[in-house]
Amino acid sequence: MAVGDTITAARYNIIRARVAGILGLGAGDEGYGQAVASSSVAVGATVTAAQMASLNDDMVKCRVHQTG
């Protein structure tokens, strides 16, 4: 994937699932237990700028949790 390429719903959902597993409840004793702002995108749908912004917010929350 190059800069400027359109992100597919499948790629977005893969990244989102990884972030949600870290930020959210995770499995067992994993996960930070925080609310996840981003949501999955239907297969074939266009990923919007607002959805990317929500995913970015979730990633920032993970970073802040890790670094204070």
- pLDDT tens digits, the chain, 68 residues: what are they? 677 788 899 999 999 999 999 999 877 788 898 999 999 999 999 899 999 999 999 999 999 988 98
pLDDT at residue 36, rounded to an integer: 95
Q: What value, to the nearest 5°, has the Cα angle with vertex 47 and ends 38 and 4?
A: 120
Token reading at 38: 């981003």
pLDDT at residue 1, rounded to an integer: 64
Give the whole-angstrom CA distance, residue 22 versus residue 36.
Answer: 10
Give the whole-angstrom CA distance, residue 20 versus residue 38.
Answer: 8
